[in-house]
């Protein structure tokens, strides 16, 4: 009975969501409202307009200036992202807007809602967006796959405080009364609740603050029961910490900021959002809150000296530290599974994804564990010297070295991979991009070419990274026998590796093929075919369908090319597998064949693979990070 009711509610929710999206697609005003509410929802880890609405109502019961500045902040950061041509999916889902909302919260604590203050806020809001955009490219869309969270708002506010102080008291451009909150003034709540103290029904004197917090909690609960549980856990734990720690240690200083902006977000983030929820995650969350407490007390004493706010910095430091540690450890040993950013929705959906996609994959445990990392924290930031020396000895002992590379070798050049940056592909409906659909459906071809044009421009702008430089170094040492790459970007050739030694097993983006006459053309030459109407290019000679010379899902590999790749690898003395999770067949089986032939294998990847047990050495780092240190080491010997 309960399961039936649950399924019915989920069905109603899905239908309502679909209807709302259809309505929004027909109205610009509703699309803007949708972005605004999702931005508020993202503050509470929820891509949910109802959650955002409840947070907005709560703010309206607390402070009018907070509502004003947060709305302006969402508008500034979202419109700045739009005019700078950021990915629309991030704008629509409030990824940029939520930092604008947070920055508005913080700004309203220090500055009055005046024309001068609003002008300054708009200017600094643009800086928040620029900071967010830069951090996304570096942290989220590159090799790290780490969340930006509230870092932009937290670091821009202290800079803003210094800037405004200089404008008022040093430059003398504005009187302090035009900017600062004088005599503790704060805008009145937009929604005033009558006191219920004399009610015969309730006999409880509810305050505005209490009702606001109940609304926020209800908004979280509507989005996710697990998130609501984690929020309650964080609130209770944070409250107890504040009461237990002596006042002399700084517990009375900004206690509300610790509970509301650090303890609660840490609990929600660790228990279900950034790490798959489970029993071990529950206990790990307590460890995270303890670490957050230590950061908070340290920052209280450091920032207190200069009278600067630290805001959500303890939360950000805690989450990033936890995720970096967990990505350096074997999840099968710890039972703690970090969630890729592209998978993050609600904890309930994440659990389903994890059960269906991760648990069935069996791989051997790596030797790394949390306790070893804590004893040697330098491993979090750079490869171990012994590791580099061991890899060097293996390389120098081999005369002919083969490389099997995957998408991870190019993510550090800014090229998105399908699994780690699925949002790039999802907006084009990439799940439809099978070879059969490409042949049969013109709408699929149109969407595919729209995606391909953006992807090709990314490839043209991409620069080589230390992984490609290391391959060139091996070639210069006459040790490189071949590179079998699943990448289609041509970056190894761009680094100077002989194209004859590069086997592009999944094809190349730099050529197109006519599916009718089989003619190959240079990709850049067909750009002139595209115009405002035509998104499906055709062959100049026979008017056949053109397709990038890459392998689509459902399309067979070139058997002769695969046999050549396998032959070259089996003729080598060492196989280096790097930047691939070894999940796509038949390439994933190459290490098995090499191992049965007695060829030593080294695997370099950010996560364990299903072939770790075959490797003489597994190096748990992004390939570019490792090879940068390796090349530096080589120059010193």
Asked whether the predicted pLDDT for residue 5 surpasses 60, the reply is no
Looking at residue 322, its pLDDT comes to 93
Asked whether the predicted pLDDT for residue 1 surpasses 60, the reply is no
Asked whether the predicted pLDDT for residue 202 surpasses 50, the reply is no
Whole-Å CA distances, 606 to 129, 318, 580: 29, 21, 9
Q: Which of 52-56, 399-403, 440-444, 564-568 has the highest mean pLDDT?
A: 52-56
Looking at residue 301, its pLDDT comes to 76
Asked whether the predicted pLDDT for residue 351 surpasses 70, the reply is yes
Q: Which of 271-280, 291-300, 304-313, 352-361 has the lowest mean pLDDT?
A: 352-361
Q: Is 93 known to be catalytic?
A: no
Looking at residue 187, its pLDDT comes to 67
Instruction: Give the tens place of pLDDT for each residue, 76-97.
Output: 999 999 998 887 888 888 999 9
Q: 206 or 33: which carries more pLDDT confidence?
A: 33
Looking at residue 529, its pLDDT comes to 65
Looking at residue 366, its pLDDT comes to 44
Among candidate residues 506, 510, 524, 613, the one labeled active-site is 506
Dihedral of alpha carbons 284, 290, 291, 292, sign? positive
Asked whether the predicted pLDDT for residue 627 surpasses 70, the reply is yes
- Beta-bridge partner residues of 111: 180
Asked whether the predicted pLDDT for residue 120 surpasses 90, the reply is yes
> Is the separation of the CB atoms in 334 and 369 below 8 Å?
yes
pLDDT category, 2, cuts 50, 70, 90? very low
Q: 65 or 557: which carries more pLDDT confidence?
A: 65
> Is the separation of the CB atoms in 35 and 97 below 8 Å?
yes
> Is the separation of the CB atoms in 446 and 535 below 8 Å?
yes
Asked whether the predicted pLDDT for residue 561 surpasses 90, the reply is no
Instruction: Give the tens place of pLDDT for each residue, 353-409.
Output: 777 766 654 444 444 455 555 544 555 556 677 888 888 888 888 888 899 988 888
- Mean pLDDT over 631-637 rounds to 79
For the CA atoms of 200, 215, 58, 80, what is the dihedral angle to 10 degrees? -170
Q: Given 3-state DSSP classes, what are the helix, strand and coil percentages for the chain, each rounded to the nearest 5?
A: 60, 10, 30
Locus of tokens 């983006």: 509
Looking at residue 195, its pLDDT comes to 52
Asked whether the predicted pLDDT for residue 252 surpasses 70, the reply is no
Q: Which of 570-579, 609-618, 623-632 has the highest mean pLDDT?
A: 570-579
Domains of the chain and CATH, by start: 23-222 (1.10.3430.10), 224-380 (1.10.3430.10), 382-415+463-506+558-637 (3.40.50.1220), 417-461+507-550 (3.30.1600.10)
Looking at residue 200, its pLDDT comes to 43
Instruction: Give the tens place of pLDDT for each residue, 500-530.
Output: 888 888 888 888 888 778 778 777 777 666 6
Dihedral of alpha carbons 339, 344, 348, 352, sign? negative
Q: 461 or 98: which carries more pLDDT confidence?
A: 98
For residue 178, report the phi and psi dihedrals to the nearest 5 degrees: -85, -10
What secondary structure does DSSP assign to 321-360, as a single string? HHHHHHHTS-HHHH---BPPGGG-S-HHHHHHHHHHHTTT
Q: Which of 238-247, 290-299, 364-373 has the lowest mean pLDDT?
A: 364-373
Q: 256 or 622: which carries more pLDDT confidence?
A: 622
Q: Which of 2-6, 348-352, 470-474 has the lowest mean pLDDT?
A: 2-6
- Mean pLDDT over 271-300 rounds to 91
Q: Tell which residue, 369, 442, 408, 345, has the closest CA to residue 45.
A: 345
* Percentage of the residues of the chain whose pLDDT score is greater than 70: 79
Looking at residue 588, its pLDDT comes to 81
Instruction: Give the tens place of pLDDT for each residue, 426-451.
Output: 544 555 567 666 666 666 677 777 77
Asked whether the predicted pLDDT for residue 268 surpasses 90, the reply is yes
Q: Which of 117-126, 132-141, 184-193, 395-404 has the lowest mean pLDDT?
A: 184-193
For the CA atoms of 488, 490, 491, 492, what is the dihedral angle to 10 degrees? 110
Helix, strand, or coil here: 531?
Answer: coil
Name the average pLDDT for the chain. Answer: 80
Helix H or strand E segment including 503: strand 502-504
> Is the separation of the CB atoms in 156 and 131 below 8 Å?
yes
End-to-end CA, the chain: 71
Q: 531 or 99: which carries more pLDDT confidence?
A: 99
Looking at residue 282, its pLDDT comes to 93
Q: Enter the pTM of the model.
A: 0.65
Label residue 172 left, alpha or beta by phi (over 0 means left) and psi (-120 to 50 means alpha).
Answer: left
Peptide bond into 400 cis (omega under 30): no
pLDDT category, 533, cuts 50, 70, 90? very low
């Amino acid at each position: 009975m309960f399961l039936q009711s649950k399924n019915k509610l989920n069905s109603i929710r899905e239908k309502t969501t679909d209807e709302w999206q259809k309505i929004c697609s027909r109205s610009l005003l509703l699309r803007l409202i949708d972005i605004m509410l999702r931005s508020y929802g993202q503050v509470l880890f929820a891509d949910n307009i109802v959650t955002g609405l409840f947070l907005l109502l709560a703010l309206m019961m607390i402070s009018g200036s907070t509502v004003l500045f947060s709305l302006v902040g969402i508008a500034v950061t979202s419109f700045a992202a739009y005019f700078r041509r950021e990915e629309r999916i991030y704008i629509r889902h409030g990824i940029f807007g939520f930092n604008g909302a947070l920055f508005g919260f913080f700004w309203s604590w220090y500055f009055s809602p005046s024309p001068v203050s609003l002008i300054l806020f708009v200017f600094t809001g643009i800086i928040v967006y620029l900071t967010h955009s830069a951090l996304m490219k570096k942290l989220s869309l590159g090799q790290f796959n780490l969340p930006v969270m509230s870092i932009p708002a937290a670091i821009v506010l202290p800079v803003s405080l210094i800037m405004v102080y200089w404008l008022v008291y040093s430059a003398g451009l504005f009187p302090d009364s035009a900017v600062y909150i004088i005599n503790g003034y704060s805008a009145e709540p937009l929604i005033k609740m009558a006191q219920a103290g004399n009610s015969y029904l309730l006999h409880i004197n509810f305050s505005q603050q209490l009702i606001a917090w109940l609304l926020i909690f209800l908004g979280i609960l509507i989005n996710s029961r697990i998130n609501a549980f984690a929020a309650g856990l964080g609130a209770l734990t944070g409250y107890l910490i504040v009461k237990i720690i002596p006042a002399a240690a700084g517990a009375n200083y900004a206690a509300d900021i610790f509970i509301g902006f650090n303890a609660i977000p840490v609990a929600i983030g660790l228990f279900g959002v950034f790490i798959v929820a489970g029993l071990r995650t529950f206990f790990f969350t307590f460890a995270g809150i303890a670490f957050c407490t230590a950061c908070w007390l340290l920052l209280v004493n450091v920032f207190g000296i200069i009278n600067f706010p630290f805001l959500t910095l303890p939360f950000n430091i805690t989450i990033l530290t936890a995720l970096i540690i967990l990505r350096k450890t074997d999840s099968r040993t710890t039972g703690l599974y970090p969630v890729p950013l592209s998978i993050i929705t609600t904890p309930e959906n994440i659990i389903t994804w994890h059960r269906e996609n991760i648990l069935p994959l069996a791989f051997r445990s790596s030797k790394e564990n949390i306790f070893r990392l804590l004893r040697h924290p330098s491993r979090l930031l750079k490869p171990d010297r012994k590791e580099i020396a061991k890899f060097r000895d293996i390389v120098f002992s081999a005369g002919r070295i083969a490389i099997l590379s995957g998408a991870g070798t190019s993510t550090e050049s800014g090229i998105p991979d399908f699994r780690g940056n699925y949002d790039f592909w999802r907006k084009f409906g990439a799940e439809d991009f099978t070879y059969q659909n490409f042949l049969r459906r013109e709408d699929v071809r149109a969407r595919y070419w729209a995606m391909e044009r953006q992807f090709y421009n990314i490839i043209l702008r991409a620069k080589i990274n230390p992984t490609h430089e290391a391959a060139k170094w091996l070639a210069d040492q006459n040790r490189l026998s071949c590179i079998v790459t699943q990448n289609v970007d041509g970056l190894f050739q761009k680094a100077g590796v002989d194209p004859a030694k590069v086997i592009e097993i999944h094809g190349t983006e730099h050529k197109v093929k006519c599916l009718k006459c089989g003619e190959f053309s240079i990709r850049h030459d067909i750009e002139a075919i595209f115009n405002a109407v035509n998104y499906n290019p055709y062959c100049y000679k026979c008017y056949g369908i053109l397709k990038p010379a890459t392998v689509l899902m459902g399309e067979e590999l070139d058997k002769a090319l695969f046999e050549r790749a396998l032959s070259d690898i089996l003729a080598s003395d060492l196989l280096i597998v790097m930047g691939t999770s070894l999940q796509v067949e038949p390439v994933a089986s190459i290490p098995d064949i090499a191992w049965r032939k007695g060829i030593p294998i080294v695997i370099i990847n950010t996560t364990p693979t299903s072939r770790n047990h075959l490797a003489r050495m597994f190096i748990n780092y992004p390939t570019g990070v490792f090879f940068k240190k390796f090349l530096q080491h080589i120059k010193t010997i």
